[in-house]
Structure 1
Amino acid sequence: MSSDLEVSVVFSFLKGNPAPQSCRCPSGWTQNGKRCFIFVKISTDWASAELTCIRYGGNLASFHSRSEYIFLRTLVYRATGSHPRTWVGASDAAKDGVWLWTDGSRFSYVSWGKGEPNNTGGRESCMEINRTGGDYINDEKCSTRMYFICARDL
């Protein structure tokens, strides 16, 4: 039997109205703004990471400001005590040099590491953060295995 709140939430969703303010991130996820994030400590390739995030109801994380980028780095650090290489949701696989976020949001901010993106060997089409363990955004081969961050809307 459904509660009145569950029915209200479903009806609001179907009508396109925002859900009640009581909605929060699922257990294990961290809220930042109107999105929820989770660091996944499973080493995998970029495409598998994106598919996992889709199964979680989101996409690989995007960031649109320096503060959002720092939030992602901090999320990783809190989970690991370091800054391991980590997949996020940008790729230029469709057209070299045209970077897109998998969540469909506008690609409006990125602070690439010096000399990046460089598409070494013509095969680096996916974005990682924490290259060399530092404050460094890099293009990398999508087949490289690393941890990842998923994001979903509240």
Structure 2
Amino acid sequence: MKMTQMEMNYTNLTNERNSLWMRLNNLISVRESCENWMKFDNGFYFISTEQKTWMESRQECKKKGADLVIISGEEMQKFVTSFNKRVWIGLTDVEKEGVWKWVDGTTLNISFWKDKQPDSNQGHSEEDCAEIYVSDPSLRWNDIPCLQKNYWICERLLK
């Protein structure tokens, strides 16, 4: 059975309408789930009000469809430090000591380490996770044990 031009137009319009409805529902869902999030650049950011370990913090982000924040440049560093809060960031060297990687698997190519950091506490304990260190006026990064409890920042990038 051959479709008429009108039937094909109707089918195409119906498919397009259904696709638009799905996109609209996805946008509404993202908006509703981002009510306590802040918009910056090409993403949304959630700053926790409770403290957890680095892994627990990452799991909380993943529950929200996000991950710990990746700091990709000076503007992002300024944004993250503007909260003046000691927070986990998505950086760790847990796989291989001294090889710092972001949660998306990319290696570190720009850094804002505090003076003499990372130092793994001069070898006395494992310090495999990175935080924003607010006790220092420069608000730079510090490596600390991943089991320490800290606030965190989740990042959900727009696609």
Give 5+ residue unaligned stretches, structure 1: 14-18, 77-82
| Aligned-partner Cα distance in 2 for 1:122–1:34 | 37
Q: Which amino acid aligns with 1:123?
A: E
Give 5+ residue unaligned stretches, structure 2: 1-16
**How many residue pairs were aligned?**
136
- 2:146 is matched with 142
Runs (4+) of structure 1 exceeding 4 A deviation are: none
Contact 1:73 1:130 in 2 (8 A): no
Rg larger for? 2
Cα 1:32–1:104 shift into 2, 3 Å = farther
- The structure with more helix, counted as a fraction of residues: 2
Report deviation, 1:103.
2.8
- 1:7 is matched with 22
- 2:92 is matched with 91
Contact 1:64 1:107 in 2 (8 A): no
- 2:128 is matched with 125
- Within 5 Å, give how 1:97-112 maps onto structure 2: 97-112=98-113
- The structure with more strand, counted as a fraction of residues: 1
Contact 2:125 2:145 in 1 (8 A): no
What fraction of aligned residue pairs are identical, expressed as a percent? 24
Contact 1:60 1:149 in 2 (8 A): yes
- 1:80 is matched with none
- 2:9 is matched with none
- Within 5 Å, give how 1:5-154 maps onto structure 2: 5-8=20-23, 26-74=34-82, 76=83, 83-120=84-121, 121-132=124-135, 134=137, 135-154=139-158
Report deviation, 1:9.
5.4
Q: Deviations over 1:46-101 (max 9, x none)?
A: 00000000001011101111110110111x2xxxxxx2321111000000011111
| Aligned-partner Cα distance in 1 for 2:43–2:109 | 17
Root-mean-square deviation over aligned CA pairs:
2.5
